[in-house]
Amino acid sequence: MNRAFNFSAGPAALPTAVLERAQAELLDYQGTGMSIMEVSHRGSTFLAVAEAAEARFRSLLGISDDYAVLFLQGGATQQFSAVPLNLSAPGQTVAYVNTGAWSKKAIKEAQRYASVVVSASSEGEHFTTIPERSTWQVPSDAAYLHVCANETIGGLEFLETPDAGGVPLVGDFSSTILSRPIDVKAWDVLYAGAQKNIGPAGLTLVVVKRALLDRARGDIPALLAWKGFADEDSMLNTPPTFAWYLAGLVFEWVEQQGGLSVMAERNERKAKTLYAAIDQSDFYTAPVDPRYRSWMNVPFTLADAALDKPFLAEAEAAGLMNLKGHRSVGGMRASLYNAVGQDAVDALVTFMADFEARHG
Ligand SMILES: Cc1ncc(COP(=O)(O)O)c(C=O)c1O
């Protein structure tokens, strides 16, 4: 078996050990003679899996019982609608910081349901930086302030918790969750699609302060209302059981690695390795302000865009997969999620130096 170095932005690399365990358990889950995919979500076998996964996730992030943890479907995109519908009244002011493509999508969706104030935007700087906090305009009557904690396409990350100015703070953590410790208490709602650091696509996690669960509008679809899921342990309808099970295996793996502080050390080192290689070269450029460079998604360009195709072809031939930048920005992007090892990053920087020597 030859596992590729997979730099996909999502769905993304999963730990080999997790896939092997799922493979070993696939046909006969713990002596039941059935796959975990084949049993009722309400039966004791799956309930034990579900509860263990939630307990591990809570323990990894230090989430207290003041917060509900919801295992949902619909992707982070569904939360772009669920956030305003659960937290604001019709027409009420909601505030957003616009730091890139995912912020923009969240804003566009919120505009359907609420009166959006864009508190700060770095669109004028092509989303290469985060506007200084002192320039943000956060109305004191806003139902919440939303930020995208890590812009997966632009590679821009809030490495510190932003000051919400006294209103509830909501974060899209899709591409940074589990990459490092988070001060959960400083946030009111966190949400994340699973398909980067948590597991396969099809599962979305929402962490919401229970005190906010009564703010939802009364007329929203039951499957968008967080309270119903909180009351029913995320079993309002059939949950994505296999994805939930796999997420549990990933949480266990993170725990075995030493938890989020160890993940943070590894991820910081991987990111530093790649940014250093880019910065010491005139051939490669990383556009993002060094203060806000993402540890998880590293976009970079080549001196000559005509070399993009040969770069990608040669990288693939060297076993370095999925380095093409998002179609909206071009260039390259290396996503360095938890399952991407230092060995993958070392192989990438070696390849980049070699490519530069031949084409630079
Ligand atoms: C930061 C961020 N937010 C939201 C989304 C949308 O997630 P989904 O496709 O699960 O709806 C993505 C997807 O990559 C993302 O990276």
DSSP letters along 147-205, please? EESEETTTTEE--SPPP-TTS-EEEE-TTTTTSS---GGG-SEEEEESTTTTSSTT-EE
Does residue 346 sit in helix, strand or coil? helix
The domain made up of 259-359 is a member of CATH 3.65.10.10: no
Ligand 1, closest atom to CA 195?
Answer: 10
Strand order across the 332-335 sheet: 284-285, 297-302, 332-335
Task: Please give the mean pLDDT across all residues of the chain.
Answer: 97
Average of pLDDT values for 306-332? 95
**Letter for the amino acid at 354?**
D
The span from the CA of 200 to the CA of 11, in Å, is: 7
What is the domain partition of the chain in residue ranges? 17-257, 259-359
Q: Is the CB of 75 under 6 A from ligand 1?
A: yes
Q: Is the CB of 243 under 6 A from ligand 1?
A: no
In this structure, the residue with its CA closest to atom 2 of ligand 1 is 174
Digit-coded pLDDT (tens) for 96-154? 999 999 999 999 999 999 999 999 999 999 999 999 999 999 999 999 999 999 999 99
Reply yes or no on whether the pLDDT at 28 is more than 90: yes
Alpha carbon 84 to its chain centroid, in Å, reads 20
The span from the CA of 194 to the CA of 177, in Å, is: 9
Digit-coded pLDDT (tens) for 237-264? 999 999 999 999 999 999 999 999 999 9
Ligand 1, closest atom to CA 194?
Answer: 10
**9: CA distance to ligand 1 center in Å?**
10
- So what's the pLDDT on residue 329? 85
**This prediction's pTM:** 0.98
The span from the CA of 323 to the CA of 12, in Å, is: 12
Confidence of residue 323 (pLDDT cuts 50, 70, 90): very high
Query: What's the angle, vertex CA 28, arms to CA 27 and CA 30, rounded to 5?
Result: 145
Ligand 1, closest atom to CA 152?
Answer: 16
Asked if residue 174 lies in contact with residue 152, where contact means CB atoms within 8 angstroms, the answer is yes
- So what's the pLDDT on residue 315? 98
Asked if residue 338 lies in contact with residue 197, where contact means CB atoms within 8 angstroms, the answer is yes
Q: Is the CB of 76 under 6 A from ligand 1?
A: yes
Q: Is the CB of 149 under 6 A from ligand 1?
A: no
Reply yes or no on whether the pLDDT at 360 is more than 90: no
In this structure, the residue with its CA closest to atom 7 of ligand 1 is 76
For a ligand 1 pocket test, name from 8, 71, 72, 77 the mutation site with the most ligand atoms within 8 angstroms of its C-beta. Answer: 77
Query: Which of 75, 161, 150, 81 is CA-nearest to residue 116?
Result: 81
Tokens of 10: 């999502």
Average of pLDDT values for 283-290? 97
Element (H, E) at 311: helix 308-317
Confidence of residue 328 (pLDDT cuts 50, 70, 90): confident
Reply yes or no on whether the pLDDT at 1 is more than 80: no
Query: Which of 223, 70, 208, 237 is CA-nearest to residue 144?
Result: 208
Fold equal for 17-257 and 259-359 = no
Please report, rounded to a whole number, the percentage of residues in the chain having pLDDT higher than 70. 100
**193: CA distance to ligand 1 center in Å?**
6
Q: Is the CB of 8 under 6 A from ligand 1?
A: no
Confidence of residue 327 (pLDDT cuts 50, 70, 90): confident
Catalytic annotation, residues? 102, 172, 196
Asked if residue 216 lies in contact with residue 226, where contact means CB atoms within 8 angstroms, the answer is yes
Query: Which of 190, 355, 344 is CA-nearest to residue 270?
Result: 344
Tokens of 165: 């100015």
Top CATH class, 17-257: alpha beta
The span from the CA of 175 to the CA of 351, in Å, is: 25
Q: Is the CB of 114 under 6 A from ligand 1?
A: no
Q: Is the CB of 103 under 6 A from ligand 1?
A: no
The span from the CA of 147 to the CA of 110, in Å, is: 13
Digit-coded pLDDT (tens) for 40-77? 999 999 999 999 999 999 999 999 999 999 999 999 99
**43: CA distance to ligand 1 center in Å?**
31
Reply yes or no on whether the pLDDT at 16 is more than 80: yes
